[in-house]
Amino acid sequence: MQSKHLRLTLLLALGTFCASRPGPAPNLAGCWTNQLGSTVSIEVAEDGTLRGTYTSQVSSTGDQVKGDLIGYQQMFNQPTFGFAVKWTTESVRGSVTVWTGQMFNTHGHQTLMTMWLLRNNTETIGNNWSATRTGQDVFRHCGVKCESTEGSGDLGSQWKCDSSVGA
């Protein structure tokens, strides 16, 4: 009888241990949109390296600008990350922006809370004081891919999450 209780106790302990083990860490793969309608598309390698593209709806020229993204993600339940964007659109070429932040899963929604630094290229050291800007962005997960929709109106209306994938 004591042997049966011991086995039952061990089975319950093992079941509790297995049930409490976390699943694979979430990652930043997919499409994300911020509060201004800018969109980032990210692919994540097994080692946490990030690659992708960023399309900003806001710029000093007032035009949509694009850039190449590279960065890293720490593989935790609510991962931390950092990425840099080298702007490739002619009007902002020479500028680089870096973001750092953390992904949060709240009420079934994935959100990236970030801070950023934008460095503009400057011709002289005298202009150094105004060449770096700071700010924050909140991104929401849109799904697997980003989709461009032509249109006009509010800043966020030109880029939408693809409605064919789960938001």
> pTM of the predicted model, to two decimals?
0.74
Residue 2, strand partner residues: none
CA gyration radius, the chain: 21
| pLDDT of 77 | 87
- What the chain holds in terms of domains, given with CATH numbers, is 26-150 (2.40.128.30)
- Which secondary-structure segment (H or E) carries 16? helix 2-20
| pLDDT of 23 | 55
| pLDDT of 18 | 41
Give the mean pLDDT per block of 10 residues along the chain (167 residues).
Answer: 52 42 73 94 95 91 92 92 95 93 89 96 88 95 69 42 43
Find where tokens 């899963």 sit: 105
